[in-house]
Amino acid sequence: MGLVDGKIAIVTGAASGMGREGARVFAREGAAHVYVVDVNVDGGNETVEMARQLGAGATFVALDVTDEDAVAATIARVVREQGRLDCAWNNAGINDISKAFHEFTKAEWDRMIAVNLSSVYWCMKHEIAQMLQQGGGAICNTSSGAGLVGAPGLPHYTAAKHGVLGLVKVAAAELNNSGIRVNAVCPGMVDTPMIRGWFASNPDLANAVLETMPGKRLLDPIEIAEAAVWLCSDGARGVSGLSMTVDAGGLNR
């Protein structure tokens, strides 16, 4: 028996990194169908093939999660094709080059908030509406260690990730008696293309960050995916409103 046997799941930001591993873990743990959502078509289709090889049905959906109408259409498609939506991992996000607090432009601020915070709300809004109709479901959102503490040089990223945890707390409280659970994972530094690109832009910062990491290593994306899928599973049926830190104890140092 898998953790999510027979369930219908959607994972955003699933063309690479944590989202790709999430789709694979959902498939490995028995999901009947996984919707792989991303703007990266080639990467998304690769993830679909990986999920299918693990025994699940899988479909790629090209989606800009900042577009509410497109998000609503995607959730409607899932329900039209599968009859329900049991699990959602809202994982899509971006990073940015670190700069002094006062040097970010309005465009940089607006883009970060749109992708890392507003899109999470749009996804939750339409996922919750469907889950209320069907009588239950589970949602996991990706926040960050920067959702718990400040990340110097990334004020807009920090604000967005703190905001994600606020959405989780409000939704979990409102939906307490609905059969819908809402949680978050707060990853530390994970070995993803996004983080590798950020490290490449500032090697000195990268080395300094690695020195602070337990074991002086980046986390493997599957370490985050395992936590997210568990939070969406019936094994976590008593868990809602949780911000689960997955950073190998980094924040405790």
User: Which two structure tokens, joined as six digits, stand for 102?
Assistant: 């006062």
Residue 127: band (very low, low, confident or very high) from pLDDT cuts 50, 70, 90: very high
The total domain count for the chain is 1
Q: What residues act catalytically?
A: 157
pTM: 0.94
Specify if 199 maps to a domain: no
Specify the pLDDT at position 253.
64
pLDDT digits (tens, 9 = 90+) for 86-124: 999 999 999 998 899 999 999 999 999 999 999 999 999
Contact at 8 Å (CB) between 122 and 68? yes
User: In the 8-state DSSP scheme, what is residue 250?
Assistant: G
Specify the pLDDT at position 147.
97
Specify if 137 maps to a domain: yes
The whole domain housing 117 covers 8-192+220-243
Specify the pLDDT at position 192.
79
User: In the 8-state DSSP scheme, what is residue 182?
Assistant: E
pLDDT digits (tens, 9 = 90+) for 201-243: 777 777 777 777 777 778 899 999 999 999 999 999 999 999 9
pLDDT digits (tens, 9 = 90+) for 143-188: 999 999 999 999 999 999 999 999 999 999 999 999 999 999 999 8
Instruction: Return the beta strands (E) in the chain as ranges.
Output: 8-12, 33-38, 57-62, 87-90, 137-142, 180-187, 243-246
CATH number, position 117: 3.40.50.720
Contact at 8 Å (CB) between 8 and 85? yes
